[in-house]
Amino acid sequence: MKRKINQKSNPINTFICPNCGNIIYINNQTFLDVTNWPRCRDKLMDLSLFNKRCTHCGEEVYIEYPIEYMDEKRGFVVLMAPGFDEDFLSVVNSAKPEAFTLGNYHTYRVVPSVEELVEKILIFESNRDDVVIEVYKVFLRERLKEEWPDMNPELILYYNKDGDEYFVIWDNVMTPGSEKLTVAFDEEHYNEIIKDFGNSLKLTDNKKYWVIDEKFILKRVLK
Ligand SMILES: [Zn+2]
């Protein structure tokens, strides 16, 4: 049986086994560099990266911890930090000189969950712009509310499965087994957003970690 443990803030080296109560020391892979470790992508995508086994009783535990995903070929870095706040952001952005000379990177993002990390990876691997995708999601949310007034589209995520692009909408994320709806990705609509919003979609500083989510879009693009 798998049990989920959520870790906030710093990477952890220990956890208490929920089955036997022993303290377990684990080796977290904090930096996932796909250039030097190609298999880390698959381990992240199927979430097996977060499965740890208790060395005392054998219990398998699922532990999410902060990681930094780096794809030098495509030039993006995504930092996943559960429950991060503004202070955290200013700390990572003030570490500029070292962090930004690590390699050939031009896109830096921070996300609060594994689901959103997976989404960013799929967006950038599909050569999509995540600012455009987030604008798309704001419009999609409005459209869903008009068409299904009873629906509460809590979380909308972009997916690409074997070249098939679509959005997955969760009505109520916290309810296990809650309804999921998928909506096909519309290339024309994507291009229209680029045409209509032009320069307001461009970020002012590429050498900086950005949080590009629906909140950012409402504040910076659709203001
Ligand atoms: Zn144990």
Q: Is the pLDDT of residue 29 over 90?
A: no
**How far, in Å, is the centroid of ligand 1 from the Cα of 61?**
9
**How far, in Å, is the centroid of ligand 1 from the Cα of 12?**
17
Question: Phi and psi dihedrals of 142, rounded to 5?
Answer: -65, -45
Q: Is the pLDDT of residue 103 over 80?
A: no
Check: CB of residue 62 under 8 Å from CB of residue 1.
no
**How far, in Å, is the centroid of ligand 1 from the Cα of 109?**
35
User: What is the spatial distance between Cα 28 and Cα 52, in angstroms, rounded to a whole number?
Assistant: 10
pLDDT band (50, 70, 90) for residue 10: very low
**Nearest in space to 26 (alpha carbons), one of 58, 55, 48:** 55
User: How many CB atoms lie under 10 A from the CB of residue 153?
Assistant: 20
**112-171 per-position pLDDT tens digit:** 999 999 999 999 999 999 999 999 999 999 998 898 887 778 889 999 999 999 999 887
* CA distances (Å), origin 30, targets 13, 23, 88, 203: 11, 20, 16, 27
* Helices (H), ranges, 38-78: 39-45
- Is the whole-model pTM more than 0.75? yes
**How far, in Å, is the centroid of ligand 1 from the Cα of 23?**
8
**How far, in Å, is the centroid of ligand 1 from the Cα of 114?**
25
Which range, of 6-15, 29-38, 65-74, 83-92, averages the lowest pLDDT?
A: 6-15
Place of tokens 């680029």: 194
**How far, in Å, is the centroid of ligand 1 from the Cα of 162?**
38
pLDDT band (50, 70, 90) for residue 97: low
What average pLDDT does range 13-42 have in this prediction?
A: 85
| pLDDT for the residue numbered 220 | 87
**How far, in Å, is the centroid of ligand 1 from the Cα of 1?**
12
**How far, in Å, is the centroid of ligand 1 from the Cα of 48?**
18
Place of tokens 């089955």: 19
**How far, in Å, is the centroid of ligand 1 from the Cα of 62?**
13
Instruction: Express as a percent the part of the chain with pLDDT over 70.
Output: 87
**How far, in Å, is the centroid of ligand 1 from the Cα of 4?**
14
- The full set of domain ranges for the chain reads 2-125, 130-220
β-sheet bridge partners, residue 107: 76
